Structure 1
């Protein structure tokens, strides 16, 4: 951006942009914010842009990274329909320039203490066989991608193209070590956190994440979820992405 010849320096600094990169834990967003609501067809890019702008009007979305794992149809409530819904939503997200990173699920046979009631403690002497479904690689991939971007800004990008702010969209405290490392190694970077929690749902903000953040948005309102929805049909380069009927 070229400064107008007659503009005072302080005025120009006020309108300079803060280039912002978002890192979204898709699993955390779905189960912490969207599951059980009619707002799953969320226009994530528009919502994040609005929240960042509310925090700092100079914020400008530079890139959004979305981390998730493919739905396992055999274990999903709606089987293949659930997988198709996820695929459709991913295609809609990509029309907004969002970069999608895939992890995986692992299903293992394990033993776990039998649940009787909350008043009776778990016992290793009373265990049952279970199937344990675990999301793998997503957290690690998110943390590494976030750190690598921070490093690239410091060592590889021209000053005018550098990211000045990283925003984590997650309430998962497994992200704390990555934020701690970024804060220590790249102290010039501004760090924001958006917790994917619906307003009205009582949850304690994770203190370990807050420790390394310059700012934190603690919840997202129902009005915001309703306002930032994709149209029922999102046009893509190929087949349109239509909102799943049961969403």
Structure 2
């Protein structure tokens, strides 16, 4: 069963990798292992990774954070991953001042903030999944035809896209891999689960550790070296 993966990079980083020593994640290897575990007949046909450029002015390590992201993307591409870029929008806004958890937010006490939002990623993922599904219906049945779409995200904003794919292309299987740690308190997103044939609710630290890129990944140009602070 040929499988195409669609990865929400922002969701994976902040839901699974931030604060861990496993950021140099070999996604093709990890997804292949999970795919085989779910169905030994399944094979990885395509992997699509969606993200937005780090903003150095707001990143913890400034330009170094942007360079680390660029290096990781080069490593992904070297392993055949197709990378799709969105963008960030930075706006001036006002928000209620945080005093403590015991004090409710008040519209009468607001402060100026910079609001950073990732834009276009959800829409790009939704369109890409739907276009691939439509393409499969036009193609003749063959061994190379995509038979399963797997979304790697816990973002419920993508539920309507999955619902549309399930209704319009019932021959396609839909899987969900939620990029959460095992043992967490998060509840699996029901709106995603309701539109999927199967759901993997967590990824363990043992799996992350077992699926890391080598420290140096050869590319067509200079090698992609694992960032020193990762």
In the superposition, the TM-score normalised over structure 1's length comes to 0.92
Whose Rg is larger?
1
Equivalent residue, structure 2, for 1:28: 11
Find out whether 1:159 has 2:141 as its counterpart.
yes
Find out whether 1:150 has 2:122 as its counterpart.
no
> What per-residue deviation string (whole Å, max 9, x for no partner) do you get for residues 189-232 of structure 1?
10000000011222110000000010000000111000000000
Equivalent residue, structure 2, for 1:105: 88
How many Å apart are 1:118 and its aligned residue? 1.4
Instruction: Give the aligned CA root-mean-square deviation in angstroms.
Output: 0.7
> What per-residue deviation string (whole Å, max 9, x for no partner) do you get for residues 114-143 of structure 1?
111112221111111100000000110011
Unaligned stretches of 5+ in structure 1?
A: 1-17
Equivalent residue, structure 2, for 1:10: none
1:97-246 paired onto structure 2 within 5 Å: 97-155=80-138, 157-160=139-142, 161-246=144-229
Separation in 2, partners of 1:183, 1:104: 28
Stretches (4+) displaced over 2 A: none
Separation in 1, partners of 2:32, 2:66: 28
> What per-residue deviation string (whole Å, max 9, x for no partner) do you get for residues 56-106 of structure 1?
000100000000000001110100100000000000000111000000000
Find out whether 1:62 has 2:45 as its counterpart.
yes
> What per-residue deviation string (whole Å, max 9, x for no partner) do you get for residues 5-54 of structure 1?
xxxxxxxxxxxxx0000000000000000000000000000000100100
SS at match of 1:61: strand
SS at match of 1:164: strand
Find out whether 1:73 has 2:56 as its counterpart.
yes
Separation in 1, partners of 2:135, 2:153: 23
Separation in 2, partners of 1:167, 1:43: 17
Separation in 2, partners of 1:27, 1:246: 19
Equivalent residues, number: 229
SS at match of 1:54: helix
Separation in 1, partners of 2:155, 2:104: 26
Equivalent residue, structure 2, for 1:12: none
How many Å apart are 1:162 and its aligned residue? 1.6
Separation in 1, partners of 2:140, 2:84: 26
